Chains A and B, each alone.
Chain A
Amino acid sequence: MSPDLLTAVTIFTLSLLVGVEVISKVPATLHTPLMSGANAIHGVVLVGALYVAASAHDAVGYVVAFLAVAFGAANVVGGYVVTDRMLGMFRSRRAPEG
């Protein structure tokens, strides 16, 4: 599954360009939710942390894995929940108050 270096660099470069394209279209009004949403996306580091936990076999490995999984999970859960909470506050003029 692991891509060779050239493929990986290609993916990285194209993803950067896609990111620049998509994110330049986000209005300034939403920059805070954008940042916390992007924050949640980098929580995908949790996937890597899970693999690390799966291959850990000694005390140091377990400690590192625990920290990485906990950090990653906090990042994912907290990031998405707070972004949703913020976006829920952005109401249109016509929407009922709540």
Chain B
Amino acid sequence: MDTLVGYVMLAAAACFVLGLHLMNHPATARAGNLLSAGAMGAAVLGAGVVIVRDATITATGWLVLVAGAATGSAAGFYAARSVRMTAMPQLVSLFNAVGGGAAALLAVSDLIGPGEALTVRVGVPAAVDIAIGAVTFTGSLLAAAKLQGMVSGAPVVFAGSRVVNAALGVTMLGAGAWLAVAPDSAVALALLAAAALAFGVTMVLPIGGADMPVVISLLNAFTGTAVAMAGFVLGETVLIIAGALVGASGGILTKLMADAMNRSIPNIIVGGFGTGADAPTAGAAGGPVRAVTADDVAIQLAYAAKVVVVPGYGLAAAQAQHEMAALADVLTAHGVEVTYAVHPVAGRMPGHMNVLLAEANVPYEQLLDMDEANPEFTRADVALVVGANDVTNPAARRPGNAISGMPILNVDHARTVVVIKRSMGHGYAGLDNELYTRPATGMYFADAKKGLAALAAAVRTFVS
């Protein structure tokens, strides 16, 4: 029986890998997710069979198990069905929190529960599990609260916050080492848990809203690692495999996001964008801009053969993705080729903008990532920038400013550029965008939602 369940767990682990593999194309991704979900069902069922067979579970144990599973499932199901796509980063953050929290609790339960004498073999992974799991738990809850706007999204740095951080880090390491060698010490356990829970808060507090894609990815990697460590503690292979897969996924995404923002991970964790020495440098600062009207832009778009749209977080913040898709539909119907150039950090988590556009019925063939999109700009008659700023600034190609070296979309390679923007305000880097003062660029000053609706109406009148 144990062998049979062991094989079921192995099959589940294999299906997790295959499920992730099927995610390499939008056409097969949904099947991959279902496969993964089916494998999860089998693994849970396998665990249920072992529990029934062993029959060591108490009646209260059953009650706790069923009540916990029902409560959790209902909460998870409700959240998943009701969440708005713009709030996806918060939800993923909450799932990171519960996953990390559960992983930490497994180790806690193993240490305080009855059983054979505890050794370093259990102590080391248990200490790592509790440390990472607890940091992920509070860190992710705070990240979700920041994204939701319940806590200020701005970097919160108080006097001596770095000293507090360092002190908590040292306490965590010390208590962790103590727990590793003395796994039955309740004091070490309590100290480690308290320090790690506090560290999660102080780690995320100074991180600003624009850095959230990196933070969520990093916490995702943490959760995976914590789950793998729980697998070491319990001797459950499937937890080790699944945890390692998620750890790899989170790690890769963290690296991609940090690269796309041109920042190192330690730099983000230490926090406070633009608070250092990098004062804004003069580009074509304060030069004249050419303001255009909806009718000007409509004519420009209608006469174009190819339009590349550059959506930024401003588009999502204004909830204007449906207006954007409506405008694109009018243009496509008129024979204009429309594609979207999506920068990796265009949303609040990796790939977020693509989901928002997919929700507005944009076909996935039109969604280009940065590497696919950049060659397209040279063939584009109009690049339409909506709510994006720093990722279009050509200053990134020059050394000596806050965004030097950041990978950008080559919007300036398009024949003409139209920027929809409410005002001449700065992006997160606090830099002037020299794209705006170029002769080929027209600035259409409007709210993204209203502006796009006006453009669609103007194009309709013009082509009919």
Contact = CB atoms under 8 A, between A and B. Distances in A.
Given A27-B25, A57-B58, A82 B83 contact: yes
B60 A62 contact: yes
Q: What is the interface residue range for chain B against chain A?
A: 35 or more
Nearest to A72: B102
Interface size range of chain A in the complex = 35 or more
Contact of B220 (A35, A47, A57, A92): A35
A60 B92 contact: no
B29 A66 contact: no
Nearest to B34: A84
Interface in A52-91: 52-57, 60-62, 64-91
Interface in A9-48: 11-13, 15-20, 22-48
Contacts of A95: 363
B95 A29 contact: no
Given A8-B235, A51-B47, A82-B91, A56 B64 contact: yes
Interface in B337-360: 342, 344, 347, 349-352, 354-355, 358-359
B240 A8 contact: yes
B363 A49 contact: no
B43 A47 contact: yes
B142 interface: no
Interface of B: 2, 5-6, 9, 12-13, 16-17, 19-21, 23-27, 29-30, 32-34, 36-37, 40, 43-44, 46-48, 50-51, 54, 56-58, 60-61, 64-65, 67-73, 75-77, 79-81, 83, 85, 88, 91-92, 95-96, 98-99, 101-103, 105-106, 108-110, 112-115, 121, 216-217, 220, 223-224, 227-228, 230-232, 234-253, 256, 342, 344, 347, 349-352, 354-355, 358-359, 361, 363-367, 369-370
Interface of A: 1-3, 5, 8, 11-13, 15-20, 22-57, 60-62, 64-93, 95, 97
